[in-house]
Structure 1
């Protein structure tokens, strides 16, 4: 099985390196192209056997599973470029959330899926969101999810929930890292604790909390209750957070959705504009 990648930017390269480092794929079973060829050449140098090429059409023609890891504004151009090389039996996977499955199906013959990876996949953790078009068979879904399960937990979601699911699984690490950064900043400023020590403590806390919420059997609510003692320090601090953060996460989701639908409209204009 040959797996191809068009686009080796941030998420494309994370997918490639995670799949190799996890042992899910050998480099010689992978081929990739990128608009800036030097970026894909770096992967070829790092992983002997990995094939870097300058032609998107070559990648499309040589792949059994083809990952499209390009920006929304580039999607229609790339789809039109490779459509002659894509056959009905290929699995074509978009990792770009604003691009709709129906749009790709209108241009490409292949079996279309959309997966939304996360930076957490780089350490073989976190979720990968899986959304499938009508041409994808149950066997195709199993094949793709077996591949992704080496670096993540594949979770099927409805396309209508792509954005909010991405907020939680893909944008969430940045939001959580922001919270950790501000928590550490305050700890250093208020007490003088060495920053390196504070970061290590906070990082281990996040790791442990994730385990409690997955394999530990806790819900977010039950975990707060278990840590808090009535009238104690944690309860007092949670009350402060509840008051100060009232409505903040609603605004966060409104913000991400507003930008998402702006991108959706731009992509739609590309796909349905007169040629």
Structure 2
């Protein structure tokens, strides 16, 4: 199987690196392209057998499976450009949340899938969200499933939960790294610990927490119960979090939903007249 990746910005690059490092496919079976060619050449320097296409048309023509990893409002134009090279036996994957598989299927005759990756996939971990198009063949469902399993956990979602699922899986690492940084900075400000030591401790703590959950030793709630001794220090800290966090996460989801609605409206304008 030959894979094409159009767009090697942050997520496009992560996909290339994860697919190769996860041994999902060899570098020689991947062709990439990017509007700024220097970004593609950085990957070419890292993986010598990787092929760089001159433009999206060449990548689509040379590939069985094509990933589109560009900004939401650029997808429509890319689809127009590569459509003649997407024969029915091929498969197209979009990684952008505001564009549905049904919209993609209006433009192309091949199998269509949406895969929303996470930066955690770079460590061959975390979840990748999958939505198959109504006309996606069983052949490509099996192929995509096998491919994504190499870089993380495939998780199938319905269109109606696309945004909250993306907030958790794709945006979540940024949200929680922000919280962890704030946690570290507060420790440095309020105590005598230095930032380097606090960063090492906090980073290893979060990795260990992930392992506890992954290995099934505790659930989120049971873990809190184990650490919070009645009348102890941890419980005092939990009280502060309980009192001061308030509706912060509700507000977070409200803000992301509002921005998502803006993006949906802009995309709909592009696809509505097609």
TM-score range, shorter chain: over 0.9
1:88 positional shift: 0.8
The answer for the alignment partner of 2:126 in structure 1 is 126
The answer for the alignment partner of 2:53 in structure 1 is 53
1:151 positional shift: 1.3
1:142 positional shift: 2.2
CA RMSD of aligned residues (A): 1.2
Secondary structure of 2:57's counterpart equals helix
The answer for the alignment partner of 1:227 in structure 2 is 227
Task: For 1:31-50, list aligned pairs within 5 A.
Answer: 31-50=31-50
The answer for the alignment partner of 1:16 in structure 2 is 16
Query: Does residue 75 of the first structure (1) align with residue 93 of the second (2)?
Result: no
Provide the rounded CA distance (Å) in 2 between the counterparts of 1:217 and 1:207: 14
TM-score normalised according to structure 1 size: 0.97
Query: Does residue 142 of the first structure (1) align with residue 142 of the second (2)?
Result: yes
The answer for the alignment partner of 2:3 in structure 1 is 3
The count of residues paired between Structure 1 and Structure 2 equals 274
1:2 positional shift: 0.2
242-251 vs 130-139, which deviates more? 130-139
Provide the rounded CA distance (Å) in 1 between the counterparts of 2:195 and 2:62: 49
Provide the rounded CA distance (Å) in 2 between the counterparts of 1:217 and 1:169: 22
Secondary structure of 1:122's counterpart equals helix
Provide the rounded CA distance (Å) in 2 between the counterparts of 1:217 and 1:259: 37
Provide the rounded CA distance (Å) in 1 between the counterparts of 2:118 and 2:15: 9
The answer for the alignment partner of 1:267 in structure 2 is 267
TM-score normalised according to structure 2 size: 0.97
The answer for the alignment partner of 1:246 in structure 2 is 246
1:46 positional shift: 1.7
1:32 positional shift: 1.0
Provide the rounded CA distance (Å) in 2 between the counterparts of 1:144 and 1:202: 36
The answer for the alignment partner of 2:213 in structure 1 is 213
1:62 positional shift: 1.1
1:216 positional shift: 2.3
Indicate if the aligned counterparts of 2:228 and 2:234 stay in contact, CA closer than 8 A: yes
Indicate if the aligned counterparts of 2:8 and 2:32 stay in contact, CA closer than 8 A: yes
Structure 1, unaligned runs of 5 or more: none
1:264 positional shift: 0.8
Provide the rounded CA distance (Å) in 1 between the counterparts of 2:6 and 2:154: 21
Structure 2, unaligned runs of 5 or more: none
The answer for the alignment partner of 1:165 in structure 2 is 165
Provide the rounded CA distance (Å) in 2 between the counterparts of 1:58 and 1:256: 36
